[in-house]
Amino acid sequence: MENRLKKLKRSMDKLEFHNLKFDENLRQNIQKNLEHENEGEEDVLLSIFQLLVQEKTGFTLSKHLRSRGIVRFDDCEGHLYTTLHRLEQKGYTLSQWKDDGGKYYSLTKKGHRLLKKYELSPKNLSGLRPLTEVLES
């Protein structure tokens, strides 16, 4: 590390971070929050699958997700389209342009099978991989 960065770090440690205590309780709270975020991702993906049982535009899908209390795409709808594209690349969704100028998304047979598998299985079934992992593999 450059000398000036070391000086900056020392200065920040003395002035800004001297009262910061990173104890085991704080570590456990952070871990719980991280686990909760992962559960949120799982719920978001499951909701997308459930909503795409019927064909929808990305805009309509976004409105339905918002009505379910999922607001993570409100500030950046591009993330939703990135997720939809990823699902399409994995073969779980299909998109097509219609005459009205809208791009419509729906589940493929593979997507329907995966949705059924996750809806019928208990959440804590150890033999079932998390939905987020299935999509990344």
> Each residue of 35-82: pLDDT tens digit?
545 447 778 888 999 999 999 999 999 999 988 888 888 878 888 999
Task: Give the pLDDT score at 39.
Answer: 44
Residue 131 counted as domain residue? yes
Q: What is the mean pLDDT of the chain?
A: 81
> Each residue of 80-89: pLDDT tens digit?
999 999 999 9
Residue 12 counted as domain residue? no
Task: Give the pLDDT score at 88.
Answer: 94
Banded pLDDT at 122 (limits 50, 70, 90): low
Average pLDDT estimate for 4-28: 76
- Indicate the burial class of 19 (C-beta count within 10 angstroms; 0-12, 13-18, 19 or more): exposed
Task: Give the pLDDT score at 41.
Answer: 79
Residue 97 counted as domain residue? yes
Reply yes or no on whether the pLDDT at 7 is more than 50: yes
Task: Give the pLDDT score at 136.
Answer: 72
Taking alpha carbons only, the member of 56, 85, 61, 88 closest to residue 72 is 61
User: How many structural domains compose the chain?
Assistant: 1
Residue 125 counted as domain residue? yes
Task: Give the pLDDT score at 94.
Answer: 96
Instruction: State the residue range of the domain holding 70.
Output: 22-136
More confident residue, 27 or 91: 91
Task: Give the pLDDT score at 38.
Answer: 45
Q: Residue 54: which CATH number? A: 1.10.10.10
Residue 4 counted as domain residue? no
- Indicate the burial class of 128 (C-beta count within 10 angstroms; 0-12, 13-18, 19 or more): middle
